[in-house]
């Protein structure tokens, strides 16, 4: 079986990393997957990006033009918007290939237009990494227009100018007449897709993101801390801050509130923030803070997950964050709110703690609960690793995709 995997990037950003790992899992389990991207950052002969400078320039111009179109919408929302307007040669290239299945992932920044997707004649499996495919132009919705239909009367009050979301949604409804096989990494996103007007009658299933559990694995904690120059023999709590300190969806303010409540509660607690360098004017968290910066390679990330004791994901809205899966694979418990895709990662009181949504006190309690009993912590760590192997390994996820491909071929 030959699979053509499509994604905007190969490893830049969470969706791309998830897509590339699925591609690698397929190949590891004997499925002939080839990945096509608009921008390649790694050297992998199974991944193909633009070859010439002119092709790379065109990709950038298309992205810029798409950004220009979004200016017709004046909104207070910081959420990314993609009009997916400009036609491309991708449908011709896909249709003339020898692929049996087209596996789409995150194809925005004007990689494929709404109309391009409808022009693909081969069976399509589409893994959703956000809400864009069944919304308008927005990648995450702050309302329920995707469920009710995009009408002038239900437009949010914080929007002005051209109704880009309504226009984009109507293009999708009009153009996507043939159902595609939809895969969501989380049960939350599956429920959203099933309740959307665009995808309510399409085949939808849940297949989690994957990770190479032979590579992402537990290491000696003291060694990991030594490598990263982190202190020994103190409890370390970590938070990933790639845009997280300014993106309201990531819930940094909620974490800050929980940390304020924890002052004096966990002796010698220190904080590790990755994905962000030391700011010129650091915030006062009430605890010593170590900034690990932007860790670009997986080996450094594996060392970090092994060096810390607990990862906290305080998101208000998230699909299936890679950080949670990576943490479990390294045997590190996770504390998060019981929202969206986080329950697909964290088993409450078994691999971590799921706090009541947006309750700072319960988030603080969950962090303290994980730290306060060393024997219980060891059990949480063991279960975290077991869960990663059972639910997210290459073998487990590739097997599930093989079944979906077979179903799509005979749809």
- Enumerate the domain spans of the chain: 2-210+394-409, 221-392
Statement: residue 253 has pLDDT above 70: yes
Please report, to the nearest 10 degrees, the dihedral formed by the alpha carbons of residues 260, 263, 268, 270 taken in order.
0
Fold that domain 2-210+394-409 belongs to in CATH: Rossmann fold (3.40.50)
pLDDT, mean of residues 61-89: 96
Cα atoms found within 13 Å of the Cα of residue 41, Cβ hemisphere only: 12
What pLDDT band is residue 276 in, cutting at 50, 70 and 90? confident
The DSSP string of 30-90 is T-EEEEEEEE--S--TTEE---SHHHHHHHHHHHHHHHHHGGGEEES--S-B----S--SH
Nearest 5°: the CA angle 81, 83, 87 is 145
Stretch among 76-90, 91-105, 133-147, 231-245 having the lowest mean pLDDT: 231-245
Statement: residue 91 has pLDDT above 60: yes
What pLDDT band is residue 113 in, cutting at 50, 70 and 90? very high
Distance CA 399, CA 50 (A): 31
Statement: residue 356 has pLDDT above 60: yes
Report the candidate in 243, 242, 230 with the shortest Cα–Cα distance to residue 308: 230
Q: Which CATH homologous superfamily contains domain 221-392?
A: Glycogen Phosphorylase B; (3.40.50.2000)
Q: Token digits for 197?
A: 């007007």
For position 215, what pLDDT does the model report? 97
What pLDDT band is residue 286 in, cutting at 50, 70 and 90? confident
**Is 133 within 8 Å of 199 (Cβ atoms)?**
yes
Distance CA 96, CA 377 (A): 54
For position 119, what pLDDT does the model report? 98
For position 294, what pLDDT does the model report? 83
Statement: residue 280 has pLDDT above 60: yes
Report the candidate in 53, 109, 113 with the shortest Cα–Cα distance to residue 88: 113
Q: Is 77 exposed, middle or buried (0-12, 13-18, 19+ CB in 10 A)?
A: middle
Is there a common fold for 2-210+394-409 and 221-392?
A: yes
For position 50, what pLDDT does the model report? 94
Place of tokens 């665009």: 198
For position 219, what pLDDT does the model report? 98
Residues 6+ apart with CB under 8 A from 379: none
- Computed over every residue of the chain, the mean pLDDT equals 95
Report the candidate in 247, 271, 268 with the shortest Cα–Cα distance to residue 259: 271
Q: Is 18 exposed, middle or buried (0-12, 13-18, 19+ CB in 10 A)?
A: buried
């Amino acid at each position: 079986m030959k699979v053509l995997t499509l994604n905007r990037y190969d490893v830049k950003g969470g969706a791309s990393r998830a897509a590339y790992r699925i591609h690698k899992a397929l190949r590891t389990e004997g499925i002939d997957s080839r990945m096509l991207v608009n921008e390649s950052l790694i050297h992998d002969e199974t991944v193909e990006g633009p070859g010439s400078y002119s092709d790379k320039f065109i990709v950038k111009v298309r992205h810029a033009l798409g950004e220009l179109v979004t200016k017709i919408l004046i909104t207070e929302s910081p959420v990314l918007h993609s009009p997916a307007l400009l036609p491309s040669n991708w449908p011709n290239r896909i249709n003339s290939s020898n692929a049996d299945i087209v596996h789409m992932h995150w194809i925005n920044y004007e990689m494929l237009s709404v109309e391009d997707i409808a022009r693909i004649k081969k069976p399509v499996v589409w893994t959703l990494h956000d809400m864009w495919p069944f919304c308008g132009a927005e990648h995450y919705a702050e309302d329920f227009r995707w469920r009710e239909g995009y009408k002038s009367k239900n437009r949010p009050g914080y929007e002005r100018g051209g109704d880009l979301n309504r226009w984009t949604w109507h293009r999708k409804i009009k153009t996507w007449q043939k159902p595609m096989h939809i895969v969501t990494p989380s049960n939350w996103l599956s429920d959203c897709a099933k309740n959307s007007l665009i995808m309510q009658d399409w085949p939808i299933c849940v297949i989690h993101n994957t990770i190479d559990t032979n590579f992402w694995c537990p290491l000696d904690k003291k060694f990991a801390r030594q490598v990263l120059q982190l202190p020994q023999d103190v409890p370390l709590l970590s938070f990933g801050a790639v845009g997280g300190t300014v993106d309201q969806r990531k819930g940094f303010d909620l974490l800050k509130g929980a940390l304020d409540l924890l002052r004096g509660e966990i002796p010698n607690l220190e904080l590790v923030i990755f994905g962000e360098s030391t700011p010129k004017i650091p915030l006062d968290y009430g605890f010593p803070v170590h900034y690990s910066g932007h860790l670009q390679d997986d080996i450094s990330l594996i060392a970090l997950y092994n060096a810390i004791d607990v990862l906290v994901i305080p998101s208000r809205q998230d699909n299936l964050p890679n950080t949670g899966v990576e943490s479990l694979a390294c045997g590190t418990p996770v504390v998060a709110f019981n929202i969206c895709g986080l329950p697909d990662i964290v088993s409450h009181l078994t691999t971590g703690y799921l706090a009541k949504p947006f309750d700072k006190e319960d988030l603080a309690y969950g962090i303290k609960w994980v730290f306060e009993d060393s024997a219980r912590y060891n059990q949480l760590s063991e279960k975290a690793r077991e869960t990663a192997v059972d639910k997210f390994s290459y073998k487990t996820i590739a097997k599930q995709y093989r079944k979906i491909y077979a179903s799509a071929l005979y749809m």
